[in-house]
Amino acid sequence: MPGSRPYLSVVVPAYNEAERLPRTIPRIVEFLSAQGYTYEVIVADDGSTDCTPALVRELAQRHPRVHLLSLPHRGKAYAVRKGMLECRGERILFTDADLSAPITEATRLLRRLDQGFFIALGSREAPGSHRHSEPLYRHVMGRVYNLAVRIVTGGKYQDTQCGFKLFTREAADDVFNRLLLYSDDARHVVGPMVTGLDVEILQAAKRRGYRVAEVGVEWHYSAGSKVRPALDTYRMLKDLLKVSLYDIRGKYR
């Protein structure tokens, strides 16, 4: 029906993803089209300097439920937040452009929302998860950062950083409107920017009292990852301390 909400929105943040999107967007569309519910796919382009925007427009001509959201280059966190607030679905998933967690894993997360949870986190550590081809240094980075997150925030989640998270409409609107790290006045950045977005999301959700399920998913390491170990570790730790300070000040309540 015109004007009605799709059942599921899928937000894909993208920065210079002209090589990946021609493979991954059709996979998303093929899977969702077979599910029997209405959907939309929002590619939140983070000011790409390659042909990503033109490519998404071309994909949208072939797949009318695919849409381009053009944004200034302010990093992945900004692109995710704007995409989550722009889409119209009753349930909203954000996923990485490389589909490290296959889109088919969305079924596991949707099932948990059916059980009364407001947020479902894809996890590479929860029971039922499987990691494939992950370099040792990436695994060590993730486990050390997760330990820091638990110590600083008192969180309980085994994996906060997996880029595969599902929200009810209510939770998405509430939580993403409360995020402070990368807001509309965020400065412009250069290159890819990995941040503490996921930690801030979960801290805001915790303070707002939302029931959150951590769900084991299949996850494949993707060559060409934009993670820069030294710089991104520094930025994520700095963001973690900011989130803790904002939380102490009651900013997420």
In a domain, 193, yes or no: yes
CATH number where 240 lies:
3.90.550.10
In a domain, 233, yes or no: yes
State residue 248's pLDDT score. 95
In a domain, 56, yes or no: yes
In a domain, 1, yes or no: no
State residue 192's pLDDT score. 66
Which residue has better confidence, 72 or 151?
72
Distance CA 90, CA 208 (A): 19
Sequence-distant (6+) residues with CB within 8 A of 177 are 85
When divided into structural domains, the chain yields a total of: 1
State residue 39's pLDDT score. 98
In a domain, 25, yes or no: yes
Tokens of 208: 């707002």
In a domain, 3, yes or no: no
Report the DSSP pairing between strands 91-95 and 164-168.
Answer: antiparallel
pLDDT digits 0-9 by tens, 186-224: 565 666 667 889 999 999 999 999 999 999 999 998 876
**CB-count exposure of residue 183 (10 Å: 0-12, 13-18, 19+):** exposed
In a domain, 208, yes or no: yes
Distance CA 154, CA 160 (A): 13
State residue 189's pLDDT score. 65
3-state DSSP call for residue 203?
helix
pLDDT at 227 over 70: no
In a domain, 2, yes or no: no
Domain hosting residue 196, numbered range: 8-248
pLDDT digits 0-9 by tens, 127-172: 999 988 777 777 787 788 878 888 888 888 999 989 999 999 999 9
